[in-house]
Structure 1
Amino acid sequence: MAAPDVSATKQRILDAASAEFGTYGLAGARIDRIASEAKASKERLYAYFGDKVALFHAVLDANFAEAMENLSFDGADMPEHAVALFDDMLAKPDIQRMMIWGQLQGESTRMRELAESHPSWERRTGSIRRAQSDGIVDARWEPRELITMMFGIVFGWVVAPGADCNDGLDEDALAHRRDVVHEAVRRLCAP
């Protein structure tokens, strides 16, 4: 008899948790629903992740690290990075919602520390500073402020009252939003 594939079980739990946390947030998510969707026992889930908060962190951390490593970043071309981030969040709406839930449920300090402790953070902020020194990006902003405002633009339709979320929009509407994100970040960065 073959041993169970621990990594496959963990991944199923992470995938189910991503959907659950994205829908209900940390407070509203239920471990029994996650375990059921992952086809894993609650005991196995607790053995792997400890508790619900640790599972929430594991999902956020894994997706955050993936985004930091996979999305190219050039401080001289922040508009392109913003569009890539928009597309990444469009492809992972659960993660986008988890980030918003995290902000609402007191995780903002932890998420900021996670970003600033990632090995790519210094490269990103250094790239912005070089672009500022070269006169490509407005030097009145701190790099951290530019990154924060870029996220605000990318997440705008998801958090603005009365705005249509990105879910279910046709390609023309999404292309228009990409153009808006690009132009807004271009203007934000323009010296």
Structure 2
Amino acid sequence: MPRDADATRARLLLAARDEFAAVGIAGARVDRIAAAAASNKAQIYHYFGSKDGLFDAVFDAMVAETLDEVTIDPDDLAEYAGRLHDSYVRRPWVQRLATWYRLERGDSDQPIDAVVRSNAGKLRAIEEAQRDGRLSSTFSPSELLGVVIHTAALWSGATPEYARLTDEVGAARRRTVVVATVAAALRA
């Protein structure tokens, strides 16, 4: 009985996500990914072309999942930041993959299309809200998007040393800080 190609591809993506999140692109090994997916290395090359192609597919899937789960609302960017924060809490690998991407591909002249498209859509939404007067123009769209995205990642992107300083801060309070900070920036 032939294996289900979609199921194999999904298992490879899940195993690759975990491997890349744990050890980065350079540290990842296709043999470990294949074994974790109950597949083989040939399938990785068949579906994704290379280890880099596999990372791109993992990153594209992560971006698509984030966009599906957390759509931008330029009329309530503070709550958008809160929902983005919630997404990072539920999916801790997102910040790990983003960190590895910055470290290992930060100087690449070939950005990941899904990220470029995602940012462009968010910027258009912010620009339109500013143009219509629904959103303050104190910050440019790219500055405002940066404030929102990085504030949402405040806790999930923290160093272990900082995280220890804030161990007593509960989940609800962390979310409150994210939303209140973005709201304060919008009033600035």
What range describes the TM-score normalised by the shorter chain of this pair?
Answer: 0.7 to 0.9
Q: TM-score, normalised by structure 2?
A: 0.86
Can you list the C-alpha shifts for 1:109-159, whole angstroms capped at 9, x where unaligned?
A: 614x533324x833x323322432454433132212211222211222233
Aligned length: 183
Can you list the C-alpha shifts for 1:84-118, whole angstroms capped at 9, x where unaligned?
A: 1111111111122101110111247614x533324
Partner residue, 1:117:
117
Partner residue, 2:138:
140
Q: For 1:37-52, what aligned pairs fall within 5 Å after superposition? A: 37-52=36-51
The whole-number CA distance in structure 1 between the counterparts of 2:141 and 2:133 is 14
Partner residue, 1:149:
147
The whole-number CA distance in structure 2 between the counterparts of 1:158 and 1:74 is 22
**Quick one: structure 1 residues 116 and 45, their matched pair in 2 at CA, closer, same or farther if it must change by over 3 Å?**
closer
Partner residue, 1:126:
124
Q: Which runs of 5+ in 2 are unaligned?
A: none
4+ long deviations beyond 6 Å? none
**Quick one: structure 1 residues 43 and 116, their matched pair in 2 at CA, closer, same or farther if it must change by over 3 Å?**
closer
Identity of aligned residues (%): 33
Q: 2:158 aligns with which of 155, 160, 168?
A: 160
Q: Which runs of 5+ in 1 are unaligned?
A: none
Partner residue, 1:174:
171
Instruction: Verify the 8 A CA contact 1:22 1:93 in the aligned structure 2.
Output: no
Q: CA RMSD in A?
A: 2.3
The whole-number CA distance in structure 2 between the counterparts of 1:78 and 1:9 is 38
Instruction: Verify the 8 A CA contact 2:95 2:157 in the aligned structure 1.
Output: no
Instruction: Verify the 8 A CA contact 2:15 2:36 in the aligned structure 1.
Output: yes
Tell me which moved more, 60-69 or 33-42: 60-69
The whole-number CA distance in structure 2 between the counterparts of 1:16 and 1:53 is 15
